[in-house]
Amino acid sequence: MPLLECVPNVSEGRRPEVVDRLISAITAGGGVRLLDVSSDPDHNRTVLTLAGEPEPLHEALLALYEEALAAIDLTRHEGVHPRVGTVDVVPFIPLGDTPMEVAVAAAHRLAPAVAGRFGLPVYLYERAARREERRLLAAIRRGGFEGLPAKIADPAWAPDHGPARVHPTAGVTVIGARFFLIAFNAVLDTADVEVARAVARKVRESGGGLPAVRAMGVYLESRGRAQVSMNLVDFRRTSILGALERVRREAEGLGARVMESEVVGLVPEEAALGVVRDALQLPGFPAGKLIEDRLRR
């Protein structure tokens, strides 16, 4: 059977007891592996990484929506990360030899099921999008939860599934299929969020920066630091190290430096090996250079 990764992003990162209930809902039916849980109080967001076959993933995600909608009220939600829904975004990613068409089919199946069961407006994005202007998640999110009533009233932004009205506590949800995305953040040694925003403008692709990089500057209240928060949407075009080096250079030009970096969720092995290739200037790495690979043969 084809294997998929799914990375639901939920608008809750401050109440561990709620996150625990979400995890219990996902794992109750079996057949789905929970690979990672990353919660952040400043972003007020939890990223769950799941893997499984399409059918058990479908059932687990419906259980996740049911629990999330019961436990989270978006009208009371605050955080630095953009969001439009309680279950904000649910991307499917093909693993191994699974073709992208399987991920697209999983998204196209889940979307009407969520809309029908929960009365949620659903938008399809990336490879599952049915309209070109909805391929980018940022375009759907523009205006945030607070701007949704006006946006959804525009016929051009009628949802792909579900009612053309915002759910009062859960907003909307965005479901799609895509390549691996690496959520990579750099924490600066300054509390000045304008420095982080200036760096983000220089780094992101839309500002003439690095290809396949999306970035924003935010203030982390819990740390008293500014952060450059990035999505590397294709590590084959811009590597983790390439993104970090550019952030370092731009930050230093503004009198700041990178204190530490962090990865939210998981990264593909190939992306991690790419960091070593870049740093050591070893274009053929690993090519038989890993002891563990030899031992597995």
Given 43, 81, 161, 167, the catalytic residue = 81
- Nearest CA to 24 out of 37, 11, 40 is that of 37
**116 vs 64: CA distance, rounded Å:** 15
Sheet with strand 225-232: strands edge to edge: 213-220, 225-232, 182-188, 258-264
Quick check: is 58 catalytic? Answer: no
Which residues are part of the catalytic machinery? Answer: 81
